[in-house]
Structure 1
Amino acid sequence: MPIQELPRDEDLSLLVDLYELTMLQAYWAEGMHDTATFSLFFRKLPPHRNYMLACGQQHVARLISQLRFGDSQIEALRRLDLFQSAFLDWLADFRFTGTLHALPEGTPVFPHEPLLEVEAPIGEAQFLESLIMNYVHLETVLASKASRIVNAAQGRPVVDFGMRRMHGIDAAVRGVRAYRMAGISATSNVLGASRHDLPARGTMAHSFIQAHDSEDVALQAFAREFPGTALLVDTYDTVDAVKRLIGWLDANPDLHISAIRLDSGDLGELAKTCRHLLDHGGYPEIKITASGGLNEYRIQDLLADDAPIDSFGVGTALGAASDAPCLELAYKLTEYAGEPRLKHSPGKHSLPGRKQVYRESDAEGFYRRDTLTLRDETAPGMPLLQPIIIDGEFQAERMADPDTAREASLDAVARLPEGLHRLDQGAAYRVDISERIHDYRRQAEARLGLPSDG
């Protein structure tokens, strides 16, 4: 049997935890088909984060509308020897029939605010839990990390170099989508660039230099093969390489390079020395790009020290979101059969009901607070959750094209209070919870005989 590394779209109906299918059969067997609302949210921000950038929620909505159980998927479930034949026959006709409200891609989001809400017959809604969480978790974590790095770079381009240390090839491809949303300028990942229409950029590896008997021969050969390229100059002696580069550019006016790349050593001091050499050598147009173990903190420090670096390549810190690689997303039942539902466990409370988030701006257009309400309430500001699936039909016209979504996301981040752009965790953004949500919670607690939190 050939190895299939990436899941095929037709197999996504099996990308679930087993208990979602066993619960689905149990709901089916009991005749429980009333409408349920499930909310996807997180209770607290990861370390060092002042906001998360919601990503993937509209992407997964398109997949949900297309989920099917074909013959091969039904046969895979039959081999588990867990499911009734009549249930599998029912599953063969599965279609998502519900509604899904979601934040627009690239929306800054805060604790307890739904990234999306699913309203559907309870089995359908329950079945989607792990697929939704996987898609939204990965892209939200990566977009949020990318947003921090883009902010630290202060308008200088950032290129994704992270593929080789990412957690799987699926993450490497889907990550490029999240990076584009957050403002990353380009990627070295050719498949990701092709899939998500982000420019592909790269230079060379040290091995290309090492494979030649002379560094100059290697660099000149590459420059002739790829006019306007960026050259890696730190394989042996960075300063000496740049001095020689200026000499052979003078002697070969047909050669043209756009940048040099620094990948090791004291990047700040090397950038200053190389900038001086290039400027005084008559090549002020040649830019300097830096890479090598960079993250947002190192970028911030380099720029604070006035390092003349024009762009950055970021790998592991971006691709693995290494300082905060996970977000404790929760997908919780908040309403069933018209009644409020909640989780009351210590430290893991959930808020009942179908919800809306209103975002209010000040006179200058900066965000000042959010209000979390029940769906049929109103509050100051703009409502953020919008229907992206209605009665099982994906609303393609409601999903912004990638360029528009990127621009909207960058604008939204720029409108956050200034303190939220800091790399350390600052004052929390204000999120108010409406009194009607609290009343609804107390109603649910009373019905279940639970002590009220007030």
Structure 2
Amino acid sequence: MSQVTATDLREVTMALSYLREDMRAPATFSLFVRDLPPGRGFLVAAGLEPALDHLSRFRLGRSDVQEFAQALRRPAEELEPLHGLSFDGQVRAVPEGRLVLAGEPLLEVTAPLPQAQLVATSLLSLLCHQTAVATKAARCVLAARGRPLLDLSLRRSQGPAAALHAARLCAVVGFAGTGDIAAANRYGIPAAGGMAHAYVQSFPSEEDAFRAYARAHPGPVTFPVDTYETDRGVATAARVLGDLGRGPGCAIRLGGGDLDALAHRARATLDAAGLRDVRIVAGGGLDEYAVAALVRDGAPIDVFTMDAMDANAGGAADAPYLDATYELVEYDGRPVMRLSSTTVKATAPAPKQIFRGPDLRDVIGLANEEPPEGTEPLLRTMMRGGLRTEPPDTLDAARARFEADLAELPQSARRVEDPVAPVPAVSTRLAALTTIVRHRLQARTMSGT
């Protein structure tokens, strides 16, 4: 399946109509999240790199047109105006790793109207899913309060591609490693992992399994101690590690149950055996709320493993999607906006910019206005004429941006429980333009023109 055809049918029907009506003037669309999900004090901008890759390769070939025609049950000849269409527009976007708030554009596309419309579904899918995952992972980092986190979500993700994205995003926000070999090699993330319970079960005893695994791996090892009875498993692991002189860098892993109590007993057993440098790793369906509770209660857990970071799996079950939209804000130089009987789905007109001040005191303004004193613009031009304006971003650069913004985030927004998100202000010029355009549209609606 071509990536081009992975789109909503309505994008195709609208683009075809635009072409037939010769509506090819530049259009600007703004992609933003209307409201933060419950329990979120911020979002981490993510998904831009794959989105730019997609736009760079976007071109409608003959087979794509035939697939569209098949879906519409129409002759391919009727869709011929779509053939050869590619993306040659401009993209302004918030770089990955930066924190964003409700109403702030993650990305704005300016391109001939049919092009800008056709890429809508792909951009929403890429940015929304990855922003949700990155935000969830960032909250886990906050909950852990400096304890290392490992991404082990591949087996529970929505496919290998989603797991690859999750591993990269977890690394951006500070995870220490991943169990996904493909992600580790592609992005330079430390690989991490140990043995499964099946390995232990395949040997006559836990001790046999631990000794065999240690023989195969001369470096640090991690033993799962809860295949049968956890306290006994800890004692066995301590005996094997002590006999082999394999303390530094090694660990035991707890995978469920009362992790607080189990970790305390395990720590006592390890310390009594002289293995104070053997770490305790804990996982098994943890989320940021569980991690925060364990840290708050003083559980002697050194490393947490996160088994479901993909936003569509268990990892973001409390906020599995973003209320995002891709709205037309200008066409052929004319600012446009959406009206609504409520303010929930109303939009503001014209291309925009986010001006960031200290402590994430943001102002949403017009793209062509001067930044307020003491602020910096967040949206940067990433593509022009369908080509990237700078080399692909690096994981280290995205991580540095995340850490810098996180340091400025108010404590009330950092909380895992009941965070209070900062609310961006609206510039005087944007507010005035919004009022003018709204009145103009309301007048036309009343007159029926």
User: Do both proteins adopt the same fold according to a TM-score greater than 0.5, normalized to the shorter chain?
Assistant: yes
| Alpha carbons 1:57, 1:136 under 8 Å: kept | yes
Change (3 A) 1:317 1:20: closer
Is the counterpart of residue 248 in structure 1 residue 243 in structure 2?
A: no
Write the distance in 1 (CA, Å) between the matches of 2:161 and 2:15: 27
Matched letter for residue 83 of structure 2: A
Q: Give deviations 1:122-172, integer Å, cap 9, x for gaps.
A: 111111110000000110010000000011111111111222222333322
| Alpha carbons 2:412, 2:421 under 8 Å: kept | no
| Alpha carbons 2:32, 2:324 under 8 Å: kept | yes
User: Where in structure 2 are the equivalents of 1:387-398 lying within 5 Å?
Assistant: 387-397=381-391
The equivalent of 2:354 in structure 1 is 357
Write the distance in 2 (CA, Å) between the matches of 1:256 and 1:116: 47
Q: Say which SS state the counterpart of residue 195 (structure 2) adopts.
A: coil
The equivalent of 2:404 in structure 1 is 411
Change (3 A) 1:162 1:373: same
Q: CA deviation at 1:255?
A: 8.6
Write the distance in 2 (CA, Å) between the matches of 1:368 and 1:70: 44
The equivalent of 1:44 in structure 2 is 35
Corresponding residue to 1:441 among 428, 434, 442: 434
The equivalent of 1:428 in structure 2 is 421
Corresponding residue to 1:196 among 174, 184, 187: 187
Q: Say which SS state the counterpart of residue 420 (structure 1) adopts.
A: helix
| Alpha carbons 1:62, 1:394 under 8 Å: kept | no
Is the counterpart of residue 154 in structure 1 residue 148 in structure 2?
A: no
Q: Say which SS state the counterpart of residue 396 (structure 1) adopts.
A: coil
Corresponding residue to 2:52 among 30, 47, 61: 61
Write the distance in 2 (CA, Å) between the matches of 1:181 and 1:77: 37
Corresponding residue to 1:265 among 257, 261, 267: 257
Q: Give deviations 1:218-272, integer Å, cap 9, x for gaps.
A: 1111111123111101122222222233333333347976111111222112212
Is the counterpart of residue 284 in structure 1 residue 273 in structure 2?
A: no
Write the distance in 1 (CA, Å) between the matches of 2:192 and 2:54: 30
Q: Say which SS state the counterpart of residue 79 (structure 1) adopts.
A: helix
Q: CA deviation at 1:204?
A: 1.6
Write the distance in 2 (CA, Å) between the matches of 1:299 and 1:430: 27
Change (3 A) 1:450 1:114: farther
Is the counterpart of residue 330 in structure 1 residue 321 in structure 2?
A: no
| Alpha carbons 1:139, 1:175 under 8 Å: kept | yes
Write the distance in 1 (CA, Å) between the matches of 2:290 and 2:310: 13
The equivalent of 1:4 in structure 2 is none
Q: CA deviation at 1:396?
A: 3.1
Change (3 A) 1:192 1:317: closer
Matched letter for residue 16 of structure 1: T
Write the distance in 2 (CA, Å) between the matches of 1:24 and 1:270: 59
User: Where in structure 2 are the equivalents of 1:118-197 lying within 5 Å?
Assistant: 118-197=109-188
TM-score, normalisation: structure 2 = 0.92
Change (3 A) 1:317 1:16: closer
Is the counterpart of residue 235 in structure 1 residue 232 in structure 2?
A: no
Change (3 A) 1:84 1:216: closer
Change (3 A) 1:92 1:442: same
Write the distance in 1 (CA, Å) between the matches of 2:154 and 2:443: 49
Aligned length: 436
Q: CA deviation at 1:14?
A: 1.1
Paired-residue identity, %: 35
Q: Give deviations 1:180-233, integer Å, cap 9, x for gaps.
A: 222222222223333333222111221211222111001111111123111101
Write the distance in 1 (CA, Å) between the matches of 2:6 and 2:309: 28
Q: CA deviation at 1:29?
A: 0.5
Write the distance in 2 (CA, Å) between the matches of 1:93 and 1:244: 66
The equivalent of 2:211 in structure 1 is 220
Q: Say which SS state the counterpart of residue 250 (structure 2) adopts.
A: strand
The equivalent of 2:366 in structure 1 is 374
Is the counterpart of residue 294 in structure 1 residue 286 in structure 2?
A: yes
Q: CA deviation at 1:86?
A: 6.6
| Alpha carbons 2:142, 2:416 under 8 Å: kept | no
Q: CA deviation at 1:368?
A: 4.3
Write the distance in 2 (CA, Å) between the matches of 1:440 and 1:432: 15
Write the distance in 2 (CA, Å) between the matches of 1:68 and 1:260: 51
| Alpha carbons 2:157, 2:308 under 8 Å: kept | yes
The equivalent of 1:385 in structure 2 is 379
The equivalent of 1:364 in structure 2 is none
Write the distance in 1 (CA, Å) between the matches of 2:295 and 2:442: 58
| Alpha carbons 2:206, 2:236 under 8 Å: kept | no
TM-score, normalisation: structure 1 = 0.91
Write the distance in 1 (CA, Å) between the matches of 2:233 and 2:394: 44
Q: Using the TM superposition, name which of 167-176 and 403-412 deviates more.
A: 167-176
Q: Give deviations 1:69-97, integer Å, cap 9, x for gaps.
A: 23332332343443663752x43322212
Q: Using the TM superposition, name which of 329-338 and 432-441 deviates more.
A: 432-441
Write the distance in 2 (CA, Å) between the matches of 1:284 and 1:433: 55
Q: Unaligned regions of 5+ residues in structure 1, if any? A: 1-6, 362-366
Q: Using the TM superposition, name which of 184-193 and 201-210 deviates more.
A: 184-193
Change (3 A) 1:294 1:402: same
Q: CA RMSD in A?
A: 2.1
